[in-house]
Amino acid sequence: MALIPIETRYRTEIADYFEEEFKLRQWMRVEVALARAHAQLGHIPKSAASEIEAAAANVQLVRAQQIEAEIHHDLMAMVKALSEKCPRSGGYVHLGATSYDIEDTALGMTLRDAGNLIKSRVIALRVVLKRLALEHANTVCVGRTHGQHAVPTTYGMKFALYYQSLGRCKLRLDAAIARVSVGKMSGATGTMATFGPDAFKLQSLVMADLGLTPAPITTQILGRDRHAEMLFTLALVASSIEQIAQEIRHLQRTEIGEVAESFSSKQVGSSTMPQKRNPHKSERLCSLARVVRAQVPIALEDIASEHERDLTNSAAERYLFPTVFCTTDYMLLEITKILEGLQFFPSAIEHNLALTKGGILAERAMMALAEKGMGRQDAHELMRTAAREAGGMNKSLLEILRAKSEVTSRLKPEELEALFDPKTYIGQAPLIVEKAVSEAP
């Protein structure tokens, strides 16, 4: 029975990268590449490399686990299981290598490939955000700061902002993937002593075979700052998703009701309140973002290793990598589906624009009075008191201003009235949106 939801409820295809069977195959790939390099350099017979390669495909996970139960060393269990399948060349398996030559190199391949899958999800999400930004570049809505109505903005501005945020995440992923796409064949303390004078050639051959970059210098392990950077980058992706999900949650509140997650005909919102239509998917993403971020401090603590290495990073990483990668991947797929099915309610958007009876355009009136010769600070004070007066009397701000000589002496009736159309006070929003999404996803 599965113990954690990334194995079931939140599982995606990326989980395959962190299964024990996949890890074993990755280790085998490195062992085969090592044997090939030894053979190419004349250290072992070419027939030995061929036998090791053929045998690697036949090693069973269950056999490696049986051996591990006896010797309590997972990597050496793999070496023994592979050697058993090589009756003529078993003595050449793992030649010169230490455990983490294999494990960290295999991890480099896994994180590279998993990272590229995450990046493809980010690119797909940005395609949806770009479409929404352009479709709603002129969908005028209330802007809110501190939870209060501010001045008008557009829904296109919201989606373009998220598009840019995910673009920065993509750039960070590019850098993080490059830094984890490394491997090592440098031995127990990084000196390459077991590999002799051809050590650098051998390491280069192995890494070229596996599509990795040779690490310039290591201890017994690769520096964990590389891995911490990758996990921190995924935490930034998760937090960017949370920003979108949180906005949807707030905009779906009963009092606002401007957008909503899609809701199927048989979907249930509450076990006791039949009318409920909860933004539970967005809420779930906000919850999962906390799980991803919570792993980052552990990854940072794993950077410090005693002398040329200790084992304090190992157990933690068995949790960290699958937890962060699998959860982030699920979040990316889910937010993309939410946005693809997002519903808009124009009548609610219009209602909220009018809710303050012109109050959201006080700034515009202030600037108009300043342009007509009233000092900016005086105009600000006039509008501040007028807005409070309008609220206290439950009147529109326009009504209040029509009764003030300081205003009517400067603005004609038609000029004053024109100031209170929110659809004409969005500044350069459409152009900002267009520029913000002009780059390729």
Residue positions annotated with a catalytic role = 146, 270
Which residue type is seen at 23? Answer: K
Distances (CA, A) of 1 to 5, 7, 8, 240, 315: 11, 10, 10, 33, 21
Q: Give CA separation, 270 vs 277, 278, 279, in Å.
A: 8, 8, 11
What does the alpha-carbon distance between residue 394 and residue 43 come to, in Å, rounded to a whole number?
A: 90
Would you tell me the crossing angle of helices 225-251 and 280-301 to the nearest 10 degrees? 160
Torsion of CA 371, 373, 376, 379, to 10 degrees: -100
Q: Please give the backbone phi and psi of residue 144, each rounded to the nearest 5 degrees, phi first.
A: -130, 130
Count each helix (H run) and each strand (E run) in the chain, helices first.
Answer: 17, 6
Please give the biggest Cα pair distance in the chain.
103
Adjacent-strand bridge partners of 213: 182
Q: Phi/psi at 141 (nearest 5 deg)?
A: -145, 170
Distance of alpha carbon 282 from alpha carbon 210, whole angstroms: 39
Sequence-distant (≥ 6) Cβ neighbours of residue 346 within 8 angstroms: none
Task: Name the CA radius of gyration of the chain, rounded.
Answer: 30
One-character DSSP codes across 67-113: HHHHHS-HHHHHHHHHHHT-TTTGGGTTTT--HHHHHHHHHHHHHHH
